[in-house]
């Protein structure tokens, strides 16, 4: 039997005050999954995503990726593992003064020696991949523009290309549409889903928009106050399930 690519077991995160943000979360992500994490503000969705690549420190549990517990790795070994985990950020996380293509190429820095990364000495192969990815996300005509000259939707497409140039085995997507209008949000989610299938990479996506989650994802995890309240297909997300996930919050 093939093991899931990602196994999260009894994951716990607490503030220094002792208040728990995640309270024993467990789930798995298979090789072809597109998983949405939904829930009210403060439920722990973004914290959960960021625990997977250790951008947030945990207080207990396991994050097993490709058979390796990431929480047991030292920082050097974790840096190597981050090559395999692409991330698309809510606020795009671009370097505004750099060109679009240079922002995409920063996704290759983890594969370069320190001196090559210091001077951004990318290979021809990397540059070719960056051009191809910009063509794939519809930005080939913008590759020499500064990142801060782009619209929100275009900036998110740069973020998608940057994550993909890592050749990741898993994509983490943190609120990819929160800064976008509804039309662009649908386009971005459609692009992420299409590219995930095209590149055969599973996705774990924290998203605030329930309708987009149900339309584009094939599995939904519902969090409330750091507790997993739901885990199943979109077809099972009925009014009762949403009421349980969101409690008194008005959708």
Q: What is the arithmetic mean of pLDDT over 10-39?
A: 94
pTM: 0.92
- The predicted pLDDT at position 251 comes to 47
Length of the chain, please?
251
- Token duo for residue 105: 């190429």
For 103-142, letters b (16+ CB in 10 Å) and e give: bbbbbbeebbeeeeeeeeebeeebeebbeebbebbebeeb
Condensed to tens digits (0 to 9), the pLDDT of residues 28-77 reads: 999 999 999 999 999 999 999 999 999 999 999 999 999 999 999 999 99
What band does 93 get if pLDDT is binned at 50, 70 and 90?
confident
Phi first, then psi: give them for residue 105, nearest 5 degrees: -65, -20
Q: What is the arithmetic mean of pLDDT over 7-12?
A: 98
Domains of the chain: 1-84+171-177+202-251 (3.40.50.300), 90-167 (no CATH)
- In the chain, % of residues over pLDDT 70: 94
Range from 126-130, 163-167, 178-182, 225-229 carrying the lowest mean pLDDT: 178-182
* DSSP-assigned letters across all residues of 119-173: TT---HHHHHHHHHHHHHTT-GGGTTSBGGGS-HHHHHHHHHHHHHTT--SEEEE
Write the DSSP symbol of residue 71.
Answer: G
């Amino acid at each position: 039997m093939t093991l899931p690519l990602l196994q999260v077991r009894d994951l716990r995160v607490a503030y220094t005050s002792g208040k728990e943000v995640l309270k024993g979360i467990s789930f798995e992500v298979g090789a072809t999954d597109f998983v949405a994490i939904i829930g009210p503000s403060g439920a722990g969705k973004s914290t959960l995503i960021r625990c997977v690549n250790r951008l947030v420190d945990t207080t207990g549990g396991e994050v097993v990726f490709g058979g390796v517990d990431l929480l047991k790795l030292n920082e050097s070994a974790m840096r190597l593992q981050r090559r395999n985990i692409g991330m698309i950020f809510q606020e795009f996380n671009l370097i505004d003064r750099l060109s679009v293509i240079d922002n995409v190429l920063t996704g290759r820095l983890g594969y370069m020696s320190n001196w090559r990364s210091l001077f951004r000495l990318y290979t021809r192969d990397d540059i070719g991949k960056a051009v191809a990815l910009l063509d794939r996300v519809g930005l080939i005509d913008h590759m020499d523009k500064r990142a801060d000259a782009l619209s929100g939707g275009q900036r998110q497409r740069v973020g998608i290309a940057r994550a993909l140039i890592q050749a990741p085995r898993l994509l983490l997507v943190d609120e990819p549409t929160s800064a976008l209008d509804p039309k662009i949000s649908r386009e971005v989610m459609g692009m992420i889903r299409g590219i995930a299938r095209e590149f055969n990479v599973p996705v774990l996506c924290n998203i605030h928009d329930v309708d987009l989650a149900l339309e584009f994802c094939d599995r939904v995890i519902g969090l409330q106050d750091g507790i997993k309240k739901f885990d199943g297909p979109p077809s099972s997300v009925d009014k009762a399930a949403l009421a349980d996930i969101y409690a008194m919050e008005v959708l």
